[in-house]
Chain A
């Protein structure tokens, strides 16, 4: 794949066709929902289109030209991802459907082999359901015990209480790198260091971190990292699980079928090497190609530049939102969080806030954002969430704030 020329952030908005559309005539789109899914640059859309128009074939084992092209493109995408997260080997980069599937894969293979009745699994109160429910299911199956790192009123993990939980000698510590509601960026390196000292394996949900700042699995010091393609400008239907080689090597395959075997006999099979033993059946080839293009795109802009841009936007957004009477934003200060602002507006349900903002083309999310226990923690039925990515601008923050004043006027 070609290395794209450097793109400046000011230019990059033009790279996203959807951002040129109007939601209704005369009402441009103000997309503040990238935490749910990011928009796609033309480079990604074109790469998938080109794949289907020119190179579509099934991957692996094909002799013909198209099969070789498709295989090369699919495997090149793996190389892009390997470089993106600085994985030691391409064999440790497994393509899945999304971060949820990546986490479930670990729960259903490593988890089922390792976790026994009475074992402790440490999670946090700020997890997305995708890093909560798979462990609840595993606990129900094995008799394991779930413990939770508490979230403070400021929206950060209570690390003193975490130290106490480690005395229970947990087998696993699974946590999000960045909260999809509070925006909190957790000190994963330190948490992993302590977990390892206590003998635990560490899984990190990188769905919100990998798209937004540089994540290097070698310096992060964790054992598993899960993330989704669609939140990082790639397509839906493709995600990644990275794992330490020794752990992946010991894990049995989850699904059986084509591509995950070395040799099949009538009554038995020999499993393929990693990563293929976890990739049964025809994979999401075009989606992998799209993810590879997304990695190229993000690198052409630069993850550090993206992170700095989002840091400016969230600082500005928090400042502007706090000006609005009745608005309360949840989570830590801008310096400790990514580009996510979940808030409430006194007297108005988040659904109504979102519906009124939609009139002005402003797309925000309203609800529990797949983090019901976190909302219970703050005794909130729901919040409105605005989230930012590389293509958002301070002018869009201004539109959000102006929209909130309209909401207040309507419901005042």
Chain B
């Protein structure tokens, strides 16, 4: 419990990395956690190898949701779409380095949900184009 607001989380909450939007972008997705009002949008630009070249996020919400997004944007730089799709809950927990109750887990995982929805949505759009 005393680790809950460890330096790392507070630092990312107060000084978020990659805060902002990217226009144009290769994919962008936004979602919210209506139960607590956390909101998040993640924009991604890819390079020629379809790897993450640039990423940015905007949002508002609790320290856990926003720090999780900031930490995730650091982690995914250079990642391929397949690597993004393979990210799991455990990766987020490892980034945050704390135990979370079920309620707070939803806050922590919003960033992953938004990122993966964006990544899958991009693929869906490509399929649609091929049709």
Contact = CB atoms under 8 A, between A and B. Distances in A.
Contact of B10 (A24, A367, A382, A410): A410
Interface in B1-25: 1-2, 4-5, 10, 13-14
A367 B5 contact: no
A351 B35 contact: no
Given A382-B36, A382-B37, A411-B10, A359 B1 contact: yes
Nearest to A383: B37
Given A349-B63, A351-B64, A381 B36 contact: yes
Nearest to A358: B1
Q: Which size bracket describes the interface of B in this complex?
A: 20 to 34
B62 A349 contact: yes
Contacts of B5: 352, 355-356, 410
Contacts of A350: 36, 62
A350 B33 CA distance: 14
A377 to B, nearest CB: 14
Interface residues of A, number: 20
Contact of A368 (B1, B14, B35, B61): B35
Interface of A: 24, 348-352, 355-356, 358-359, 366-368, 372, 375, 380-382, 410-411
B10 A351 contact: no
Interface string B27-52: 00000001111110000000000000
B69 interface: no
A348 B1 CA distance: 18
28 contacts: A24-B1, A348-B63, A349-B37, A349-B38, A349-B62, A350-B36, A352-B5, A352-B62, A352-B64, A355-B4, A355-B104, A356-B5, A359-B1, A366-B36, A367-B35, A367-B36, A368-B35, A368-B37, A375-B37, A381-B37, A381-B38, A381-B39, A381-B60, A382-B36, A382-B37, A410-B10, A411-B13, A411-B14
B1 A351 contact: no
Most A C-beta atoms less than 10 A away, residue of B4, B37, B38, B64:
B37
A351 B67 CA distance: 14
A352 B36 contact: no
B127 to A, nearest CB: 35
A381 B4 CA distance: 22
B2 A359 contact: yes
Given A368-B37, A381-B37, A349 B4 contact: no
